[in-house]
Structure formats: structure tokens, C-alpha cells
Amino acid sequence: MKQSRFAWIVPAIYILFLLTPIYWLVAMSFKTNVEITTRFTLLPETFNFDNYVKVFTDQKWRDVFANSIIYVGLNTIISVAVALPAAYAFSRYKFFGDKHLFFWLLTNRMAPAAVFTLPFFQLYSAFGLFDTHIAVALAHCLFNVPLAVWILEGFMSGVPREIDETAYIDGHSFPSFFVKIFMPLIASGIGVAAFFCFMFSWVEYLIADSLARSTVMPITTRLQALSQASGTDWGVLAAAGTLTLIPGAIVIWFVRNYIAKGFALGRV
């Protein structure tokens, strides 16, 4: 279908709309607090990196960044590892209760985090896991395991079943077939699932905030504590906020063609 010659204007305006608030955040991160609060300047008067230096030299900021990365990484590994065999089962076999189970997984993806914050606190305290990385990593499995199962199932169903049968005839055992033959075939699916687990754990706030309050405090909790306090250090907040955009910006290039698929739980 030929688009009109001026079609590009629509995405161009939209992209401008998307980038303006981000520009403001980044611009603010280069300003001094005096400039932010007293003068209205479109461009920073001088590009000073003081705010970034403050973030990088402050042990607290480094800790909260590390905490977030650790629990997000743990969650991604756990989610994909347990989801792989389950997704294979859903894509290849019928078994008692399979449809119900598949549906129930979806309800967890859709469950509001606010419903779970109260019992999570109780549960993880009871196991002595409150305020640990693993607690947040496990709690985020609530929505990431279903997500990974659904995405992987979508990719696996695209691989013809004849491949499995041929491999078994060739004498492969199930583990050897799964690791050596099947996983390379759905490598892109595993990548997409891992990316979306990483992303949804990275963007989540409410559960992480309620389970990791002090020693393993996530980055967003610190941002929240500082942004709603009086005498806010806007420059440093903007610098730390800008840094949180980087993980997403780095990985996005690799998954640009799969974004729709991942959000639609592998069903596009």
C-alpha cells in the first residue's frame, strides 16, 4: 500500500511528543539546582556533570542500582529456567487440566500488584526472606513466570513436531534433545522471554518497594523517598532517573522486531 507523501509527519510528531519529557529530564540532570529552581532555561547554561559525579561517588546510589540489577537478574534466570520445560509441555502435549492451568497462569500475569503486597510481606517475613534480593526475585515470578511460559509456548508451537520425533528416533534422550536440538531452534524465543522478564521486573515498583525496604532497597524506592521529601535535590534525582533509562535503551535494539510479540504474550 502506498502511503501518502506526508505520512511521516504523524510518527514524527508522535516521536517529538515522546522525546520532549525525556529531554527535559536529561537537560535537568546537567543543570545545577540553583538553575533548576530559579531560572527557566531550555538548554542547560553549562553542561556540568556534578549530578552524575554525585550519583557515581555516593555508595548509597551505587548500592541501590546494584540491588535492582541483582534481583532483576535473579528473577530473569529463575523465570526462564522454570518456564522452559513447562512451555514445552503446553506446546507439545495434552494433559489433565492443561487448559485450566494455562488460564490460571494468565490470571497471575493480570493480577494487580496492590492485592499481593499485604500477603507478600507476611509470607516472606515468615520464611525469613524479607528484605533480601531473592524475595523480590521470587515475588516477581508472580507475573514473569506466566509471561515467560506464554511467550515461549508461542515460539515453541512454531517449531514442527516432526523435529522432536526425528530426534527421538535418532536415539536422543529427552534432556539431550531439549538442550542440544530444541533450545538452539527457539534461541530467539528464549532471548525474547528473558528480555521481557528483565523488563517487567525492572519497571515494577510496588512489590519491590514493599519487600525490600532497607538493606536491599531498589533504585525506585530511593528515588521515591527523595522525590517526595522536602528540599529535593532535583539535579541528582534527574541524573539518577536518566541512568535508569539506560538498561532499556541498550537492550531495545536487539528486540526491536519482537516488542509487539512479547507484549502480546507471544500471540501476534
Partner 1 sequence: MKPVNQRAWFLVAPVLLLVAFTAIIPLMTVVNYSVQYVGMNTQFHWVGGLWFREVLASEKFWNALWRNLVFSGIILTIQIPLGVLIALNMPRKGWGVPVCLVIMALPLLIPWYVVGMIWQMFGRVDIGLFGVMLRDFGYNYENDPIDAWFTLVLMDTWHWTSLVALLAYAGLVSIPDAYYQAARIDGASRWQVFRHIQLPKMARVLTIAVLLRFMDSFMIFTEPFAVIAGGDPVFLSTELKQTVELGQKAAMSLIYFLIILLMSWVFYTVMTRDDGEPRTQGGVP
Supply 191's cell numbers: 532471548
Closest CA to 190 of 146, 155, 164: 155
Contacting residue, 80, 105, 136, 167, with partner 1 by CB under 8 A: 105
**Distance (Å, rounded) from C-alpha 130 to C-alpha 170?**
49
Please report whether residue 225 would count as binding partner 1 according to CB under 8 A: no
> Least distance (Å) from partner 1 to the CB of residue 265?
7
Contacting residue, 50, 73, 92, 191, with partner 1 by CB under 8 A: 92
Supply 206's cell numbers: 510496588
> Least distance (Å) from partner 1 to the CB of residue 236?
12
> Least distance (Å) from partner 1 to the CB of residue 59?
21
Closest CA to 205 of 113, 138, 110: 113
Window 150-209: residues binding partner 1 (CB under 8 A) = 154-155, 157-158, 188, 192, 199, 202-206
> Least distance (Å) from partner 1 to the CB of residue 170?
19
Count of residues that bind partner 1 according to CB under 8 A: 104
Task: Show the site string, 52-91: x = touches partner 1 by CB under 8 A, - = not.
Answer: --------------------------x---xx-xx-xxx-
User: Which spans in 96-176 are helix H?
Assistant: 98-110, 113-126, 133-156, 161-169, 174-176
| Amino acid at the residue 200 | F
Supply 32's cell numbers: 545545577
Contacting residue, 59, 122, 214, 230, with partner 1 by CB under 8 A: 122
What DSSP character marks residue 181? I
